[in-house]
Amino acid sequence: MIRSLLFVVSLIALPSVAGAQAKDSLPSGVTPAMVAEGKTLYGGAGLCAACHGAAGKGVQGLGADLTDAKWLHSDGSFEAVAKQILTGVTPEKSSTGVAMPAKGGGQLSDAQVRAVAAYVWTLGRAAAK
């Protein structure tokens, strides 16, 4: 009887533990090394910090806050963030009226764009916790 009760309790707790792990995990194909590279590129060759700020909080009149849970141009998935960085944002669709050039205006490879996207994806997840 006690063994059955413990089994039922463990099954009830299992989904919440699995959900917590999934929320904290990186998207498929994204590694901690990619996130670290993306952070370096974000502050350097990617030119991201110029409009979004060094901490991703945004620069008024230039770039949106990337640290909140609100995604302006996509659903916030890793693939959508990568596509957004790759293609940019037109002034008409920009929340500030300032365009974000493709690849942020930097000379990034597609792999580097994905690394920046990995880092940006983590910025938005910090607010969702």
Residue 63 placed within a domain? yes
What CATH number should be reported for the domain holding residue 49?
A: 1.10.760.10
Rounded distance between C-alpha atoms, residue 70 and residue 74, angstroms: 9
Residue 51 placed within a domain? yes
Residue 1 placed within a domain? no
Residue 126: HSE in the Cβ half-sphere, 13 Å Cα cutoff = 12
**pLDDT tens-place string over residues 13-46:** 333 333 333 446 999 999 999 999 999 999 999 9
Which position has the token pair 């413990």?
A: 6
Residue 13 placed within a domain? no
What Rg do the C-alpha atoms of the chain give, in angstroms? 18
- pLDDT value of position 126: 73
Contact 121, 71 (CB under 8 A): no
User: Phi and psi for 64 in degrees, rounded to 5?
Assistant: -70, 160
**pLDDT tens-place string over residues 65-79:** 999 988 988 899 999
Domain encompassing residue 99: 28-128
Residue 36 placed within a domain? yes
Residue 9 placed within a domain? no
Which of the 8 DSSP states describes residue 72?
A: S
Residue 2 placed within a domain? no
What is the number of domains present in the chain?
1
Contact 104, 46 (CB under 8 A): yes
Residue 95 placed within a domain? yes
